[in-house]
Chain A
Amino acid sequence: MNGPGLKDKYCIVGVGETEYSKNSGRTTQAMAVGAVRGAMNDAGLKPGDIDGMLSYHSGDSTTSLAVTTDLGVRLNFYMDCSGGGSSTEALVGLAMGAIEAGMCHTVAIFRSMNGYSQFRYGGTGARARAPVTGNAVLRIPYGFMSPAQSFAFTFMRHMMEYGTTSSQVAHARVAHSKHASQNPKALLKKRFTVQDVLNSRWITKPLHLLDCCLETDNATCIIVTSVERARNLQQRPVFIMGVAGRVSKPRADMHYVHGPITRVAGYYAAPIVFGNAGIEPKDVDLTGSYDAFTFTTMLMLESYGFCQMGEGGDYVSGGIIELGGKRPNNTSGGQLCEGYTHGMNLVIENVRQLRGLADDYCPQWQAGVHTYDYSEGHCRQVKDAEISMNLGWGTPATSSALILRR
């Protein structure tokens, strides 16, 4: 267990994003500018108020410097990191560290990707045609490459060891699609049933198409600053209680060698993030558990201790993770339905929830007035949301986490 870290000393003060689409028709630079500007407007910050920037990419995006020019911002600190899922929470921690070190005072964190129209993760475009080298020579020549293929061994083994079923994990799609139907921004607003998931075509067994997230063109941004500066800004600040960044398993592989392979990296990250925040899973009102796949949502909730190892199937299929349930998960629809952003949209959603300002179909949501009617096309605000948690997945072997409070 780590110490108290920097509990409640830093806040998320602004969030923003561009449209979730399959064809943005814009460069990653143009989208990033839109997202950062959106977050600045949300916070009530002017160009001179931002002096730090962090971003992450997989060789598919723009840079902090390119974006600052378009924003009229001059930076005292920036870094563009390599990475996909589990980067957002880790960069929130780095932003706090950079401010704490006196290098800057307010940091914008962005991710911009044309994840459908340019660089697809699950698709057959440029990524699938690149030369194979390094340790990938032991994987890719076997048709073992995409995220679905890379993670499937872990999913399959979980089904074998614990009796987890396709129907159980399909409930993650059911829940997140329910939430997306209350979210005007969601790329996919249709509500799905368990049978819809089971009837969808196979990608790689045990994954159906509807077990897999969307691929999306989009940019997202969140702004972190100190509690002192946060108090004078436009939005009610959301406090950072605890963070864990890119916690890994003992080996760089997918943990296939150094088992058990069904124990994912959240197992190692949980004591750090809960230790920093000084709370337990039972204190968390809503979660954002990384849904690259239905299975990843389940594995993360399990490894962070929201249920016992092996009970994830029951947890995600028992109504707990749905709006109106005990601890709703991915209330925006998540990456299965709202859009795929490598996890930042899941943090943005929790910030809005803690403000009481979920941008749903309630006529007066902007005034914080919600009906809590969770039937299709209505409210998605969680009642009395005090504490949220994001559980970030990079691979089975890498995880980050973030605990926020209102």
Chain B
Amino acid sequence: MAEYQYKGMEIIVPDNDREHQGYFEAARERRLVVQRCSDCGKLRWEPGTACPWCTSLTWEWHQVSGKGTIYSYQIVTHPIQPGFSDWVPYPVVLVELDEQRGEPTEDEALRIVANLLDDQNEPEKEENVAIGKRVEVVFVDASEDFTIPQFRLLDETPGAPLWQFQAT
């Protein structure tokens, strides 16, 4: 069983949870991975036992580019966990990865939850967060044995107009 400490939280990944264990082991090696079905070849996220498209139980880890686009976001001002008190306001982003966008149906994509960080690994400023911005994974070493995938803004031209929340 793997036990990690992160921002005052105890993260427990039991030995029988090989999906999440493999994910964090890959992150330790600075690789962002998702499961790839050995039968139909489709990628999937979040990790699970079987392929949601063809129900196959066989899969392997597949390294993705780690590049994507912000699909939705929020700026948390009221922290819930004590460890986030000195982080507010912080962005949580839903990142749509470049791989397998719009497949197998047009609404489908691999969308990952993370924080958007600046180059000091601090929460990115609200004015820099927008739906449509290009981002890339970064691996933050939280302790000797725990690395957490996060995202950072990429200096790339977005493929669509940006959208930013205004309270009106």
Assess whether A144 is in contact with B113, with CB atoms less than 8 Å apart. yes
Assess whether B72 is in contact with A157, with CB atoms less than 8 Å apart. yes
Assess whether B113 is in contact with A142, with CB atoms less than 8 Å apart. yes
Taking the closest CB of chain B, its distance from the CB of A254, in whole angstroms, is: 9
Contact of A135 among B47, B71, B89, B90 (CB under 8 A): B47
- Judged by DSSP, the binding face of A is mixed
Assess whether A143 is in contact with B165, with CB atoms less than 8 Å apart. no
B residues less than 8 Å from A253 (CB atoms): 46
Contact of A160 among B7, B114, B163 (CB under 8 A): B163
A residues less than 8 Å from B78 (CB atoms): 122, 148, 201-204
Assess whether B131 is in contact with A257, with CB atoms less than 8 Å apart. no
Assess whether A261 is in contact with B72, with CB atoms less than 8 Å apart. yes
Question: Looking across the interface, which residue of chain B has its beta carbon closest to that of A156?
Answer: B72
* CA A203 to CA B80, docked complex, whole Å: 10
* CA A259 to CA B71, docked complex, whole Å: 11
B residues less than 8 Å from A154 (CB atoms): 72
* CA A251 to CA B52, docked complex, whole Å: 9
Assess whether B75 is in contact with A205, with CB atoms less than 8 Å apart. yes
* CA A139 to CA B111, docked complex, whole Å: 12
A residues less than 8 Å from B90 (CB atoms): 143
Q: Interface code A203-223, partner B: CB below 8 Å = 1, 0 otherwise? A: 111101000000000000000
Q: Which of A137, A140, A154, A206 has the most CB of B within 10 A?
A: A137
Contact of A202 among B10, B44, B71, B75 (CB under 8 A): B75
Q: Which of A133, A159, A257, A259 has the most CB of B within 10 A?
A: A257
Assess whether B12 is in contact with A131, with CB atoms less than 8 Å apart. yes
Assess whether A149 is in contact with B76, with CB atoms less than 8 Å apart. yes
Kindly identify, within residues 57 to 81 of chain B, every residue whose CB is under 8 Å from any CB belonging to chain A. 71-81
B residues less than 8 Å from A206 (CB atoms): 74, 165, 167
A residues less than 8 Å from B81 (CB atoms): 124, 128-129, 140, 143, 145
Taking the closest CB of chain B, its distance from the CB of A153, in whole angstroms, is: 4
Kindly identify, within residues 250 to 289 of chain A, every residue whose CB is under 8 Å from any CB belonging to chain B. 250-251, 253, 256-261
* CA A380 to CA B67, docked complex, whole Å: 54
Assess whether B87 is in contact with A204, with CB atoms less than 8 Å apart. no
Assess whether A141 is in contact with B9, with CB atoms less than 8 Å apart. yes
Assess whether B13 is in contact with A143, with CB atoms less than 8 Å apart. no
B residues less than 8 Å from A146 (CB atoms): 80
* CA A405 to CA B74, docked complex, whole Å: 40
- Does B29 lie at the interface of the complex (its beta carbon under 8 Å from any beta carbon of A)? no
Assess whether A205 is in contact with B109, with CB atoms less than 8 Å apart. no
Assess whether B94 is in contact with A159, with CB atoms less than 8 Å apart. no
Task: With A206-B167, A257-B109 given, name 20 new contacts (CB 8 A).
Answer: A122-B80, A124-B81, A124-B82, A132-B11, A132-B12, A133-B11, A134-B20, A135-B20, A138-B20, A138-B112, A140-B9, A143-B92, A149-B74, A153-B94, A154-B72, A156-B72, A160-B131, A204-B77, A205-B75, A257-B44
14 chain-A/chain-B pairs, Cβ below 8 angstroms: A131-B12, A133-B12, A133-B17, A135-B47, A137-B24, A138-B112, A141-B11, A143-B81, A149-B74, A153-B74, A156-B131, A206-B165, A251-B52, A256-B111
A residues engaging B (CB < 8 A)? 122-124, 128-129, 131-135, 137-146, 148-149, 152-154, 156-157, 159-160, 165-167, 198, 201-206, 208, 250-251, 253, 256-261
Nearest 7 CB-CB pairings of A with B: A259-B107, A152-B74, A153-B72, A202-B77, A205-B75, A131-B10, A133-B12
